[in-house]
Amino acid sequence: MKPLLIALCLWALPCWSQDQLIPFHKIDAERRSMVEDVYYAPTVRILKNPEQVDCELTTLTWVLDRLPLASRLAQALDLGDYGVVANPEEEGAVDIDDREGALATMRVVYQQPDIRVYLANGSLESRALPTVDGTGLIVLYYDEAYEGPGLEAELSVFFRLKSDFLHLVTRAFTDQLERELNRRLVRLIRAALRLAENIEKDPEGVFARLQAVEGVEAAELEAFEEAFLQR
């Protein structure tokens, strides 16, 4: 029995060093318990391998700070088709529509110069699954690459279904849910990473596309010019 008990305990522990990366005590009390519930008892946990991002930290930060604008620019550059708009009721939150049946409200619950932790509540509709409601925890860690220029980014997604019954059902269901989340949430964040790379590589070209984006405001154009064309 002891080997089995030890194995179960090890399986239950988070398998990455994010206990150190996410100081739960610094997260707003209103959100903290939800963040801990999702992190420590997810229905699905996706830990992606580190990947190279060919841009400076300031470029990626600029993109992450402007997700609604970034989504329209990513669409113009054929990097992804996502509807991201500011949530009218919660300051700093955004409403996301992936155009394929996933809807969520997402906000940053913790950030430092090298990490952002997002909490998202929403629903997922798929041909392969019934429509499900749940909460996602998205952890994006980025730092200077160990070798060469650019950044190294690590992305992790923790998702817990709202339904306790579905949370405990068969592995076949959770496998399909993991595939859907991997395809949708992971793709969303990667679109932001690729956009940052495009800005770094060709800021003038991206600015030209930004000027053609419908509804872009003069202040947004000025912010881009100041950040990338005057440095």
Ordered per-residue pLDDT tens for the chain, 231 residues: 444 433 333 334 334 444 456 889 889 988 999 999 999 999 999 988 888 999 999 999 999 999 999 999 999 999 988 899 999 999 999 999 988 888 999 999 999 989 999 999 999 887 777 788 999 999 999 988 766 679 999 999 999 988 776 666 656 677 888 888 887 777 888 899 999 999 999 999 999 999 998 888 999 999 999 999 986
> Is 72 a domain residue?
yes
Helix (H) or strand (E) holding 94: strand 94-97
What pLDDT shows up at residue 130? 77
Residue with tokens 């830990």: 47
Cβ proximity of 59 and 153 under 8 Å: no
Cβ proximity of 152 and 173 under 8 Å: no
The range of the structural domain enclosing residue 37 comes to 31-229
Q: Which of 142, 139, 116 is nearest to 51 (CA)?
A: 142
> Is 181 a domain residue?
yes
> Is 18 a domain residue?
no
H-only helix segments in the chain: 2-12, 18-21, 29-40, 57-64, 67-76, 164-167, 171-201, 203-211, 218-224
> Is 177 a domain residue?
yes
Alpha carbon 78 to chain centroid distance? 19
Domain of 62: which CATH number?
3.30.530.20
Cβ proximity of 97 and 103 under 8 Å: yes
d(CA 218, CA 213): 12
Please state the pTM of the whole predicted model. 0.84
The neighbour count for residue 202, using CB atoms within 10 Å, is: 13
What pLDDT shows up at residue 148? 67
Three-state secondary structure call for residue 166: helix
Which tokens go with 131?
């429509």
> Is 105 a domain residue?
yes
Cβ proximity of 12 and 105 under 8 Å: no
Widest CA span in the chain: 67
> Is 68 a domain residue?
yes
> Is 11 a domain residue?
no
d(CA 106, CA 83): 13
What total of structural domains would you count in the chain?
1
d(CA 82, CA 70): 10
- In sequence order, what are the beta bridge partners of 193? none
Q: Which of 63, 84, 54, 87 is nearest to 72 (CA)?
A: 84
Structure letter (DSSP) for residue 23: -
